[in-house]
Structure 1
Amino acid sequence: MSAVRLWRRTIASIRQDQSASVSERLRQFFGAAVIIGVAALAAGCVSRPVGDFGRADPSFSHDVMMPTIGNSLAKGHHEPVSNFNQTDQEKEMHNRVWRFLVAPHAKDWFYDVAVELQRTRITGETDLRFAIDRYYTWLKRADYGSSRTRYSTVGRHIQADIDTIPTTFISICQVQEVDRQRGVAEDGLSGLEPDVRRDVAARRAENDMHINWFVRALDYRYQSYDYALNHLLVETPHEQSLAVDDALGQMKVYLDRATRGDFCSGQGLIIGSQQAEIPSRYGSRNYGVEHVDLK
């Protein structure tokens, strides 16, 4: 029996049990969620399915079952859990941020299973313990016909990140504005129930946690690319390293803004302008490898 059919059958059975109290039904519901969730994990379907262009595919397990389990666990740990529906802006932010939480182009670089368990709140912030050498390890083991191709690969991955960072910043800024508007409405309206005010605070905390995770993920990507480039310079030095270093410098401008929480400012969005100072690891801009400063 599939997880979807088992879930629906279990919920129908709980609803039909008229003799059970509300608390008992909740206990049965949570117990069923845990059992089915464990069965799904054991079946090896933890990593979120991915479709075209690295976008997440809809999935009952990942969109309904696992979040339900995670929210129940979060409430049990007295973490903020809002009952509000997501706004369009919040959905957009989650979709754009998710692209930075995973790396389908480099298998298991991002601990795909750990990321999905964290996203659905079944576990805590496990990304705090991610090791930055995993990307280089994957890159080193990849079977390339030329050692120069590894530099091209890193450059493409960095550029793909740079291309999607600005729109991710915009989506985060829009969510921050939604939270501000909620706060204004909450302060200006009387007669709101305490639960509504708790939901306002909980949703702001949830959004802040997701934004902070994005910042950490962006930093992890940058640190991983930087580690890989440094080690490639020692292992297989080539002139292509200079272009990768330039791209990494561009990414650092965005990382600095994200670290400051500056998602809404238009300053520095155009990389290469006079506002964006991009430091280099090289002492010389000559494209001869013999002039590269490896310090």
Structure 2
Amino acid sequence: MPLRGLLARPILLLALPFAASCVQQGDFGRPAPTAWNSLIGAAGPLTARVQGEPVSLFPFTDDERTLRERAWRYLMPARDRSLFETALSDLTRAGLPAEWRPTDPAGYFEAILAENARSPVSRYRRLSDDVTADGRLIPAFAETAARVVRADLNRLRSLPFIRTLDDADVRGAAMRVAENRCLIAWVRREAALREEAYRYALEHLLVAVPGEEAIGAERTLAFLTARRRLLDPLLPVDAEARCGLAPAAGAGPQATLVTKG
């Protein structure tokens, strides 16, 4: 069906308004938040209708493959890749299941204390090693994510101008963009939670087993904080909430997801 024939299908056409909205720029040149909100609002109902299907049938670009590879290595390197793909699919459709949600910040500290360490030095070293490993993974992911975001904006901009698109094309575009954005939001959310857990562990180690090694651990935390901030400009601040990764700001009714650009 030609693109103009989709005008009678309002749910699928939710993907089209943000093709124009994405061109709008917000603070510091970032995409305007309304473009992202519209995207998630469109992709949610669409993906809910295709239970059992992949999030999108489109082939991955090279950058999309790299993005998923780097996200998997960061989020769950010791777990089967298929579990990661299932979690990403669930995330884009309806949010991550409860078992995928991170525990409280104290969990990492308790795990360090539970290890059979011969001295407090080894606990500080474990903390510093984990922090440094996370920090080293972030820049490459952020660089790839930025390219994917730019490509998705071009994808959305093109929709109103292509006359041969049918329902599946529009749906596939909306789902793939939502999948990419929610994956980036997942990594950004996890990075913030890990930094919180590392800081909690350092503060409590300093009280439980004070030592000069805390100075080095504090430096590695500063290194991680600087690296983590590379993820901030990639998506609007409410992206994690829109993807079901975090509670929405405020206790009132959920904000309207689809807005006129």
Q: Same fold (TM over 0.5)?
A: yes
Q: Does 1:151 align with 2:121?
A: no
- 2:59 corresponds in structure 1 to 85
Note if contact 1:74-1:80 (Cα within 8 Å) is conserved in structure 2: no
| Aligned residue runs from structure 1 range 206-221, under 5 A | 206-221=179-194
How large is the RMSD of aligned CA atoms in angstroms? 3.1
Note if contact 1:162-1:251 (Cα within 8 Å) is conserved in structure 2: yes
Residues 161-209 of structure 1 show CA distances to partners (whole Å, capped at 9, x for unaligned) of: 1112111111111211221231233233222112211211111111111
Q: Identify if the C-alpha distance between structure 1 residues 128 and 152 changes in structure 2 by more than 3 Å, giving closer, same or farther.
A: same
Residues 95-144 of structure 1 show CA distances to partners (whole Å, capped at 9, x for unaligned) of: 1011221264xxxxx9x998675235298423445222221111111112
**What amino acid is the match of 1:89?**
D
Query: Which residue, out of 204, 209, 215, partners 1:231?
Result: 204
SS state at 1:131 partner? coil
Q: Structure 2, unaligned stretches of length 5 or more?
A: 1-46, 237-261
Note if contact 1:82-1:203 (Cα within 8 Å) is conserved in structure 2: yes
- 1:99 corresponds in structure 2 to 73
SS state at 1:85 partner? coil
Identity %: 26
**Number of equivalent positions:** 185
Residues 53-104 of structure 1 show CA distances to partners (whole Å, capped at 9, x for unaligned) of: xxxxxxxxxxxxxxxxxxxx95456999322111111110011011221264
- 1:249 corresponds in structure 2 to 222
Q: Which consecutive segments of 4 or more residues in structure 1 shift more than 3 A? A: 73-80, 112-117, 126-129
Note if contact 1:101-1:217 (Cα within 8 Å) is conserved in structure 2: yes
How far apart, CA to CA, are the structure 1 residues paired with 2:230 and 2:73?
19
Q: Structure 1, unaligned stretches of length 5 or more?
A: 1-72, 105-109, 264-295
Q: Identify if the C-alpha distance between structure 1 residues 189 and 117 changes in structure 2 by more than 3 Å, giving closer, same or farther.
A: closer
Larger Rg: 1
More helix by share: 2
- 1:42 corresponds in structure 2 to none
Q: Identify if the C-alpha distance between structure 1 residues 79 and 237 changes in structure 2 by more than 3 Å, giving closer, same or farther.
A: farther
Note if contact 2:55-2:89 (Cα within 8 Å) is conserved in structure 1: no
How far apart, CA to CA, are the structure 1 residues paired with 2:198 and 2:77?
13
How far apart, CA to CA, are the structure 2 residues paired with 1:196 and 1:113?
26
